Amino acid sequence: MEHDAEMASPISSDMVTAADDWAARDDFEDSPAESHAHPPAGAGAAAAVTEDEAREEAPPAPPSEDANGIESTLQSLELQPSDAPHNRVQIEAEERNRKRHLNVVFIGHVDAGKSTAGGQILFLSGQVDDRTIQKYEKEAKDKSRESWYMAYIMDTNEEERAKGKTVEVGRAHFETETTRFTILDAPGHKSYVPNMISGASQADIGVLVISARKGEFETGYERGGQTREHVLLAKTLGVSKLIVVINKMDDPTVGWSKERYDEIEGKMTPFLKSSGYNVKKDVQFLPISGLLGSNMKTRLDKSICSWWNGPCLFELMDCIEVPLRDPKGPVRLPIMDKYKDMGTVVMGKIESGTISEGDNLVIMPNKANVKVISVYCDEDKVRSASPGENVRVKLSGIEEEDIAAGFVLSNIGNPVGAVSEFNAQLQILELLDNAIFTAGYKAVLHIHSVVEECEIVELIEEIDLKKKKESDPKKRKPKKKPLFVKNGAVVVCRIQVSNLICIENFSDSPQLGRFTLRTEGKTIAVGKVVAVPPTGISTFKA
Ligand code: GTP
Ligand code: MG
């Protein structure tokens, strides 16, 4: 909380109206992983059991980091005829494949209660037992952070627990009737926005956590804070649906007040609209107490809150609809991380297409042909994995040191392009010290798992979103190229990077075509790729 006062409002709502332009798409917008998150081996869930318990209850599948584990699983699977899955690992894997999988990121201002709500979900879904909770209660008390014990389920490292602030994106898994969820618990503090971007870029849906406690909603939203920046980033990064939980409803300053709830919903709604969310279709509000677990797994008791007749959080998450992704599309797996394990293992989220054992693929931009030895979803070995899955893929044909985060595993027939320049439509949010945005401006480009220095080399056209575009191209007046633009402008410009990066036009692949520009730790613009050099060529002037 001590950080809140110093926060300046990063984005005003009129600045973000232009986000509608690309955010208004109804199709599924989904985005790949970036390089800062914990490895997807169930860090949160792993933290939810003590060492003793871990010994008592062996995990169902061998973790893939264990080379022998992979090999023995591989051998046992090979001994089975392909249509007779007697192997426990395989049966489990196939059972889980029947359920859909969604990545859900928890976002919102610092201390809104994201980790507490995430921890409570794991507790309510039976993944953390009372003994562990008691242990966390004691640890939190020893650190004079009594109320943080639920957050300790998600906040697993010492620094996070001591300061009561999430730093890295926590990751955990839980299931409802219809869906397997991966929870990504993003940090709220402004210093860790790059980590939040990493979490949001892996997510399909978001839970925006807002504190209803007196003064806290205001600090997070009205007087600046991360609520606005997170919403805007989430939309840009492909979080297509939002559940807005109005949290801390149990707090003495709130007391499950309908007026407070309505006030927050009333203020958030126009802002969410201006950020590009269709509030009727894409957004659902509900009151909860993450700390007490109220309105989470079961509906609210009327004795606690008489006015809420709507669903609880689990119900909403269970039935939230995201458009289906095309498993037959071209293979696109932006690589988030890699390691050596009797071969080369790459990690990331499949953005398009299906990856199966035995596939011959290519890693771009270095055009290395590889063969898929095995595919893992979470801890389980699977025969194939479809879009949206966070996977680890073991490859032959390439050394681990020849791969970097941001490379993309693609199919051979239709590989992703590798370019060193592209045209983009940018929305300028807030430049540092109100600087002007002109050719020569340098920033850090975040696009799927790529983080690269970039330079704006040319401003091509400033777009006036209020004016209707002339539909007949012959009648359109040629635009004068602007020399500079200011905060709030929408501008088409050419951007260059010194290393080849794998990106695609936003209209072809929103996941590989949307990005943020940051300087000195601040998001200064969000954008979409509108033109890339012709196939096989890295610059426009070849
Ligand atoms: P960052 O990771 O730093 O962004 O914070 P966070 O959003 O993860 O918040 P966290 O879960 O760490 O909770 C912050 C404080 O709010 C803790 O003291 C929690 O106990 C308290 N808190 C969270 N949820 C509730 C709630 O539903 N009711 C009340 N009364 N307090 C809550
Ligand atoms: Mg947290």
For the record, the structure tokens of 269 come out as 């709604």
C-alpha 350/C-alpha 24 separation (Å) is: 24
Ligand closest to CA 114 = 1
What is the DSSP secondary-structure string of 270-294? HHHHHTT--HHHHEEEEE-BTTTTB
- Digit-coded pLDDT (tens) for 257-310: 999 999 999 999 999 998 889 999 999 999 999 999 999 999 999 999 999 999
Instruction: Give the position, in ligand 1's atom list, of the atom nearest the Cα of 151.
Output: 11
Q: Exposed (0-12), middle (13-18) or buried (19+): which is 218, by Cβ within 10 Å? A: middle
Q: Where are the domains of the chain?
A: 100-319, 332-411, 418-531
Distance, CA 348 to ligand 1 centroid (Å)?
A: 29
C-alpha 454/C-alpha 495 separation (Å) is: 7
Please enumerate in sequence order all residues whose Cβ is within 8 A of that of 99, keeping only pairs 6 or more positions apart, or say none: 175, 178, 179, 180
Distance, CA 50 to ligand 2 centroid (Å)?
A: 21
Distance, CA 213 to ligand 1 centroid (Å)?
A: 11
* 450, β-bridge pairs: 447
Ligand closest to CA 112 = 1
C-alpha 291/C-alpha 520 separation (Å) is: 35
The response to whether residue 187 sits with its C-beta less than 6 Å from ligand 1 reads yes
pLDDT truncated to tens, each residue of the chain (542 aa)? Answer: 333 322 333 333 333 333 333 333 333 233 333 233 333 333 333 333 333 333 333 333 333 323 333 233 222 222 233 333 445 555 455 555 567 888 899 999 999 999 999 999 999 999 999 999 999 999 999 999 989 999 999 999 899 999 999 998 998 999 988 898 989 999 999 888 878 887 887 788 999 999 999 999 999 986 568 898 899 888 877 788 999 999 999 999 999 999 999 999 999 999 999 888 999 999 999 999 999 999 999 999 999 999 999 999 999 999 998 866 778 999 999 998 999 998 899 999 898 999 999 999 999 999 999 999 999 987 789 999 988 888 999 999 999 999 999 999 999 999 999 999 999 999 887 787 767 899 999 999 999 889 999 999 999 999 876 565 566 666 666 677 899 998 878 899 999 999 999 999 988 888 899 888 988 877 888 888 999 999 889 999 86
What is the enclosing helix (H) or strand (E) of 525?
strand 522-531
* 472, β-bridge pairs: none
Residue nearest to atom 13 of ligand 1 (CA): 113
> Are the C-beta atoms of residues 228 and 272 closer than 8 Å to each other?
no
C-alpha 93/C-alpha 81 separation (Å) is: 16
The response to whether residue 365 sits with its C-beta less than 6 Å from ligand 1 reads no
> Are the C-beta atoms of residues 420 and 498 closer than 8 Å to each other?
yes
- Digit-coded pLDDT (tens) for 392-441: 999 999 999 999 999 999 999 999 999 999 999 998 877 877 678 999 99
Q: Which CATH superfamily is domain 418-531 in?
A: Translation factors (2.40.30.10)
Instruction: Give the position, in ligand 1's atom list, of the atom nearest the Cα of 247.
Output: 27
The response to whether residue 282 sits with its C-beta less than 6 Å from ligand 1 reads no
**Same fold: 332-411 with 418-531:** yes
Distance, CA 115 to ligand 2 centroid (Å)?
A: 4
Distance, CA 147 to ligand 2 centroid (Å)?
A: 13
Class of domain 332-411: mainly beta
Class of domain 100-319: alpha beta
Mutate to test the pocket of ligand 1, among 106, 121, 147, 155 (most ligand atoms within 8 A of CB): 147
Of 176, 200, 54, residue with least CA distance to 526: 200
